């Protein structure tokens, strides 16, 4: 048996698989309520959005005449479906003469385009594994993004990408049945498909005493959380990244099993072992954006042999391919020209890599494989298949409820968000309360209480930076889900806001109880509740500011440094070190003192404590509490002033979230990244720019 042959020949028989799918494809009877069972594991590569998929509720009865196959094997297709797996309606993707150019701006000479992908033609059929392979910087990920409709703003696509022979965008989104039993069944199917049964009952991510999953299981979990959506097409960028050989083989076997259910799987890969290579159905080989081959894996081996580069018996095919088309090997051979292996040669490819690439490209263009691909692509484009429609999307209310509950679970497990802050706030309240304890109720105690309240407010806000890592994780999860249309900006913000309320209120009331009564503030319930609500509003506003900073930087160190600088400035203009009326008007008073949480929180708490009170001075004279405080802090004598301060904090809590909503909707971070790239390219010397291309 040929060691390179695919383990399931159903890949080469889309017509038979689709014909059989009329009876066995599983489609929910009423796809009306999507849901996501995604947790928040500590991913090793947070900045890589590697999973993309399109889901829709299309009919499974696809006309077989629209999807011809060069080598139909009905028996193999039937064998692939005997396991009783639920079937999904796959989709046929075709790309023809697809090119992608990257626009770069240069100082003084306008813009320049660099062609990243050049005239690539290919297809991906239901029930198959299609791999895009090539060395680094060959255009693999760019081609995958172009097919998936996920190109970046600086990238421009030329050519055609057809889904079921129709020129339409892939309908990304969430589609699940409404019954809870159906949801549970789909989750169990995803767990089984990715061979995660051993971890089905484990709590993953965030908990103090839970170890992270190994890299292979994390990668499979990342795919499984997308399989919950019952995808018709699954795009994966480097699924074997950072995996050992055993984990890589296990993951590819599970993807092969997934493809056997009818799903169309397209992914990129740098290289693979011989066993993994044998699981591929079709391969698209790229080098410097040029397509050197597209077709069956066995045909690729024959193509290299016809071009004069036969694969050695003891060498992995993917290693041989990359050796022939990777220009970096020329430098290696030059450095190691005096080294020889047991056969007398360092490499099985004797000619220069650039010459080998041109030879392979020319051989492919004139080969029967290229003609067969062009012919099959033309047939696939002749007759339209069913449109994948965006049906069954859950209402915003349902999605907000689901995301709120998920965020509650994540926050309860995440020591960085809740437990560490709870411990720090309690320690702070206990420390400040014991230091300023027994201050008494005389006129001399006013300054002590003003200092205690200012210190408490300032450090409660300052210690909130311990929750920055949790906010960064939430934004990264949102970015992934929003890109796949599982979530939206408003749903994310409302879900996060509602889920943060119980935790913030719990840490507020627990620490306030300790501080309030240790300091000996006025023992009245309504005054105590105003104290709690004021601190709660202050934390809500601060939480929104932290989310804005976390979104801008997405880096723990930069976010922490930025927030500490902001908090220190807010403390300086908070009216304690110098009364706000005495601050310099430029910058410090306007606008900084008017955007400081500390000003309104401290003013409101002092007005809550001292408005309406008086202190005895001597035997017969008294002064109002506002006048007594005036020497240390500037507050108003109006009975309604404290409510104005509370209202300002509420406006801040809402206003910062509106700002965050605008930033997310406009995708400001992407534009900032593009601006940074433009600046780098603008300052790049012209000679260096041309040498890099």
Q: Supply the pLDDT for residue 531.
A: 97
Other CB atoms within a 10 A radius of the CB of residue 236 amount to 24
pLDDT digits (tens, 9 = 90+) for 246-257: 888 988 998 898
507 pLDDT band, cuts 50/70/90, is: very high
For residues 642 and 548, give the distance between their C-alpha atoms in angstroms, rounded to a whole number. Answer: 27
| Lowest mean per-residue pLDDT among 389-403, 529-543, 643-657 | 389-403
pLDDT digits (tens, 9 = 90+) for 277-326: 999 999 999 999 999 999 999 899 999 999 988 988 888 898 889 888 88
| Lowest mean per-residue pLDDT among 40-54, 373-387, 618-632 | 40-54
Crossing angle, helix 668-682 and helix 641-666, to 10 degrees? 60
Buried-state track 547-562, b at ≥16 Cβ within 10 A, e below 16: bbbbbbbbeeeebbeb
Beta-bridged to residue 132, according to DSSP, are 268, 284
pLDDT digits (tens, 9 = 90+) for 431-444: 999 999 988 888 88
For residues 135 and 621, give the distance between their C-alpha atoms in angstroms, rounded to a whole number. Answer: 88
175 pLDDT band, cuts 50/70/90, is: low
What are the helix (H) ranges across 84-208?
Answer: 140-148, 180-193
For residues 536 and 570, give the distance between their C-alpha atoms in angstroms, rounded to a whole number. Answer: 18
Mean pLDDT confidence for 459-482: 91
Q: What is residue 4's three-state secondary structure? A: coil
**Residue 651: pLDDT over 70:** yes
pLDDT digits (tens, 9 = 90+) for 87-137: 766 789 999 999 999 887 655 555 567 889 999 999 999 999 999 999 988
**Residue 392: pLDDT over 80:** no
Rounded to the nearest 5°, which phi and psi values hold at 298?
Answer: -65, -35
pLDDT digits (tens, 9 = 90+) for 550-586: 999 999 999 999 999 999 999 999 999 998 888 998 8
Q: What is residue 40's three-state secondary structure? A: coil
The closest of 121, 88, 87, 90 to 15, measured between CA atoms, is: 90
Q: Supply the pLDDT for residue 112.
A: 66
User: Whole-number mean pLDDT of the chain?
Assistant: 79
Highest mean pLDDT among 161-170, 344-353, 371-380, 662-671: 371-380
Sheet holding 129-133, edge to edge: 51-54, 233-236, 264-269, 129-133, 282-287, 290-296, 111-124, 93-105, 155-163
Beta strands in 217-281 (DSSP E): 233-236, 264-269
> What is the secondary structure of 608-644 as a DSSP string?
HHHTT-EEEETTTEEEEHHHHHTTT------TTHHHH
Q: Supply the pLDDT for residue 250.
A: 86
What sign results for the dihedral spanned by CA atoms 372, 374, 377, 383? negative
Span between the terminal Cα atoms of the chain, in Å: 45
| Lowest mean per-residue pLDDT among 98-102, 187-191, 462-466 | 187-191
Compute CA distances 561 → 54, 210, 555, 652, whole Å: 39, 29, 10, 22
188 pLDDT band, cuts 50/70/90, is: confident
Rounded to the nearest 5°, which phi and psi values hold at 48?
Answer: -105, 115
Compute CA distances 586 → 18, 582, 590, 600, whole Å: 72, 12, 6, 20
> What is the secondary structure of 432-480 as a DSSP string?
HHHHTTT--SSTTHHHHHHHHHHHHHHHHHHGGGGGHHHHHHHHHHHHH
Q: Supply the pLDDT for residue 48.
A: 35
What are the helix (H) ranges across 50-102?
Answer: 74-79
The angle formed by the CA atoms of residues 689, 692 and 693, to the nearest 5 degrees, is: 95
Mean pLDDT confidence for 326-349: 60
For residues 314 and 312, give the distance between their C-alpha atoms in angstroms, rounded to a whole number. Answer: 6
Q: Supply the pLDDT for residue 56.
A: 35
Q: Which CATH class is domain 93-104+115-173+231-339+351-382?
A: alpha beta
**Residue 340: pLDDT over 60:** no
**Residue 66: pLDDT over 50:** no
- Say if residue 591 is preceded by a cis peptide, omega within 30 of 0: yes
Q: Supply the pLDDT for residue 192.
A: 84
What sign results for the dihedral spanned by CA atoms 294, 298, 301, 304? negative
For residues 107 and 355, give the distance between their C-alpha atoms in angstroms, rounded to a whole number. Answer: 35
Contact 264, 92 (CB under 8 A): yes
The closest of 196, 136, 148 to 172, measured between CA atoms, is: 148
Rounded to the nearest 5°, which phi and psi values hold at 113?
Answer: -105, 135
Mean pLDDT confidence for 448-473: 94
At 610, list the tokens: 């001292």
Instruction: Name 355's Cβ contacts closer than 8 Å, sequence gap at least 6.
Output: none
**Residue 642: pLDDT over 60:** yes
Compute CA distances 392 → 34, 236, 262, 495, whole Å: 7, 25, 21, 21
Contact 544, 656 (CB under 8 A): yes
* Residues of the chain above pLDDT 90, percent: 45
Crossing angle, helix 445-462 and helix 489-519, to 10 degrees? 150
Q: Supply the pLDDT for residue 447.
A: 92
Domain span(s) for CATH 3.40.50.300 in the chain: 93-104+115-173+231-339+351-382
């Amino acid at each position: 048996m040929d060691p390179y042959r695919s383990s399931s020949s159903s890949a080469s028989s889309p017509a038979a698989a689709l014909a059989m799918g009329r009876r066995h494809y599983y489609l929910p009877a009423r796809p009306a309520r999507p849901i996501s069972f995604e947790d928040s594991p500590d991913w090793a590569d947070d900045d890589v959005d590697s999973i993309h998929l399109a889901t829709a509720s299309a009919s499974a009865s696809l006309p077989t005449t629209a999807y011809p196959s060069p080598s139909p094997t009905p028996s193999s297709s039937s064998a692939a479906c005997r396991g009783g797996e639920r079937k999904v309606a796959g989709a046929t993707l075709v790309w023809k003469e697809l090119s992608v150019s990257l626009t770069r701006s240069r100082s003084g000479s306008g813009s320049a385009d660099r062609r990243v992908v050049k005239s690539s033609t290919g297809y991906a059929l239901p029930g198959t594994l299609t791999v895009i392979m090539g060395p680094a910087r060959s255009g693999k990920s760019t081609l995958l993004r172009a097919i998936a409709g996920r190109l970046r703003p600086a990238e421009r696509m030329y050519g055609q990408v057809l889904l079921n022979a129709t020129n339409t965008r892939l309908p990304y989104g969430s589609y699940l049945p409404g019954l809870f039993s159906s949801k549970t069944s789909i989750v169990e199917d995803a767990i089984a498909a990715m061979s995660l049964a051993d971890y089905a009952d484990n709590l993953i991510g965030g908990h103090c005493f839970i170890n992270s999953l190994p890299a292979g299981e994390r990668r499979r979990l990342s795919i499984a959380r997308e399989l919950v959506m019952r995808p018709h097409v699954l795009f994966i960028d480097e699924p074997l990244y950072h995996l050992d050989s055993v984990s890589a083989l296990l993951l590819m076997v599970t993807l092969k099993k997934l493809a056997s259910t009818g799903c169309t799987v397209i992914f990129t890969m740098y290289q693979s072992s011989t066993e993994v290579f044998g699981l591929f159905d079709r391969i698209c080989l790229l080098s410097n954006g040029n397509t050197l081959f597209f077709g069956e894996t066995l045909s690729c081996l024959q193509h290299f042999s016809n071009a004069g580069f036969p694969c050695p018996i003891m060498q992995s095919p993917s290693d041989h391919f990359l050796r022939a088309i990777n220009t970096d090997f020329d430098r290696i051979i030059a450095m190691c020209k005096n080294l020889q292996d047991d056969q007398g040669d360092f490499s099985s490819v004797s000619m220069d890599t650039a010459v080998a690439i041109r030879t392979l490209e020319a051989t492919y263009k004139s080969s029967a494989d290229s003609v067969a691909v062009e012919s099959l692509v033309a047939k696939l484009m002749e007759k339209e298949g069913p449109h994948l429609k965006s049906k069954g999307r859950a209402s915003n209310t349902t999605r907000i409820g689901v995301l709120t509950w998920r965020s509650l679970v994540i926050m309860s497990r995440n020591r960085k968000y809740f437990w560490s802050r709870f411990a720090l706030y309690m320690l702070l309240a206990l420390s400040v309360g014991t230091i300023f304890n027994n201050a008494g109720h005389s006129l001399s105690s006013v300054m002590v209480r003003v200092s205690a309240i200012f210190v408490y407010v300032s450090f409660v806000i300052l210690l909130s930076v311990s929750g920055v890592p949790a906010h960064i994780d939430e934004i990264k999860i949102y970015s992934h889900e929003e890109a796949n249309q599982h979530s939206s900006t408003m749903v994310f913000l409302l879900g996060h806001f509602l889920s943060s309320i119980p935790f913030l209120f719990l840490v507020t009331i627990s620490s306030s109880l300790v501080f309030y009564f240790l300091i000996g503030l006025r023992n009245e319930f309504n005054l105590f509740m105003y104290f709690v609500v004021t601190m709660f509003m202050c934390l809500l506003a601060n939480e929104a500011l932290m989310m804005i900073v976390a979104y801008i930087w997405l880096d723990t160190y930069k976010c922490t440094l930025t927030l500490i600088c902001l908090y220190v400035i807010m403390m300086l203009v908070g009216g304690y070190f110098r009364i706000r009326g005495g601050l310099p008007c430029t910058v410090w008073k306007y606008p900084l003192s008017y955007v400081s949480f500390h000003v309104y929180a401290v003013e409101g708490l002092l007005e809550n404590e001292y408005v309406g009170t008086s202190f005895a001075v001597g035997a017969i004279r008294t002064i109002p509490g506002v006048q007594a405080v005036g020497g240390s802090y500037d507050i108003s004598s109006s009975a309604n002033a404290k409510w104005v301060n509370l209202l300002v904090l509420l406006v801040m809590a809402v206003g910062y979230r509106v700002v965050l909503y605008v930033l997310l909707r406009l995708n400001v971070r992407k534009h900032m990244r593009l601006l940074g790239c433009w600046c780098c390219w603008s300052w790049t010397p012209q000679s260096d720019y041309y040498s890099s291309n």
